[in-house]
Structure 1
Amino acid sequence: MLTLVRSLWRLPAPPDASPATGWDRAFVALVAVLAVVETVLRPDLDGRWLTLATFLVWLPTLLARRTQPLLMAAVFAVVVAVEMVVGWASDGHEPDDLNTAVVGLLIPYSLTRWARGRDLVPGLGLFLLVAGTSLVAQPLPPADRIGGSAVVVAAAAVGAALRSRSMLRTRQLDVVRQQERERLARDLHDTVAHHLTAIAISAQAGLAVADTRPEAARDALRRIDEEATRTLAETRKVVRMLRTEDEAADRPLDDLAGLAVTAGAGPSVEVHLADDLDDLSPTVAAALQRIAQEAVANARRHAQEASSVRVEVCRRHDDVELVVTDDGRPTARSARGFGIVGMTERATLLGGTLAAGPAAGGGWRVTATLPAEGGR
Structure 2
Amino acid sequence: MRERWEAAGLGVAFAVVLAEWGYRIVDSWGGGYWVPGCVAGAVAGVLALVRRRARLWTAVAGMAVAAVAILVARLFDLPAEPGPGLALGLSVLVGSALRTLPAPQAAGVGAGGLAVALGSQLSGSPHTAVLVLNLGAWLAALAGGLGPRLLAARRAAVAERVRQAERLELARELHDVVAHHVTCVVLQAQAARLVARKDPDRVAGSLADIEAAGSDALAATRRVVGLLREPGGPAAFGPAERLGELVAHFSGPPVTLRLPDGEPVWPSEVAGTVHRLVQESLTNIARHAPGASAVTVSVTQGEAELVVEVTDDAPPSHRNPARLGGGYGLVGMRERVEALGGALSAGPRPAGGWAVRATLPLPERGAAGGMPASARGMPVSTGGRGRR
TM-score range, shorter chain: 0.3 to 0.5
Computing the radius of gyration over CA atoms, which structure comes out larger, 1 or 2? 1
After TM superposition, the score normalised by the length of structure 2 is 0.47
Greater relative CO, 1 or 2 (CA 8 Å, sep 6+): 2
After TM superposition, the score normalised by the length of structure 1 is 0.48
